[in-house]
Structure 1
Amino acid sequence: MTEESKHRSLLTAREREIFNLLVSDNTTKDIAGRLGISEKTVRNHISNTIQKLGVSGRAQAIVELLRLGELQLY
């Protein structure tokens, strides 16, 4: 079993990208412009992640993703 197959990420590549930008103090509007997607799409990705984690907001999602090792602060 490879290292990658042992640890499947909870996040999609796009969700990870969005949350990395969120923890780098970007707004939804900033992220949308940077990724060339709509603000609604950014919010949908955030909402999907919140739902996956079973938390009630962005801040709790970030804390949980950090706890799980899915995000790192630089």
Structure 2
Amino acid sequence: MNKGQSILTKREQEIFDLLVHNMTTGEIAEELKISEKTVRNHISNVILKLNVKGRSQAIIELLRLGVIKL
């Protein structure tokens, strides 16, 4: 595992891998069998970790770091 990947928990990684493929919060919740609120909490945690302003910026930063791929 490269250094970038250790930024995210396994669940955060799963969520952002799905987000980057244009899935909605509801679709991700259904896919992972968790609540939409839990999905939003994970997204918020990543936004805080990365010190960015929103999910779009989080995705851009994670792509830049090589943590997620298109």
- Which residue pairs with 1:16 in the alignment? 13
Structure-2 separation of matches of 1:10 and 1:70? 8
TM-score (norm 1): 0.88
Instruction: Determine if the alignment matches structure 1 residue 53 to structure 2 residue 50.
Output: yes
Structure 2 unpaired stretches of 5+ = none
TM-score (norm 2): 0.93
> What is the one-letter code of the residue matched to 1:13?
K
Deviation string 1:16-44 (CA, Å, 9 cap, x unpaired) is 00000001110000000111100000000
Shift, 1:11, TM fit: 0.3
Shift, 1:9, TM fit: 1.1
Name the one with the larger helix percent.
Answer: 2
Say which SS state the counterpart of residue 9 (structure 1) adopts. Answer: helix
- Number of aligned residue pairs: give it: 69
Q: Which has the larger radius of gyration?
A: 1
**Deviation >4 Å, runs of 4+:** none
Say which SS state the counterpart of residue 6 (structure 2) adopts. Answer: coil
**Which structure exhibits the higher relative contact order, with contacts defined as CA atoms closer than 8 Å and separated by 6 or more residues?**
2
CA RMSD, Structure 1 to Structure 2 (Å): 1.2
Structure 1 unpaired stretches of 5+ = none
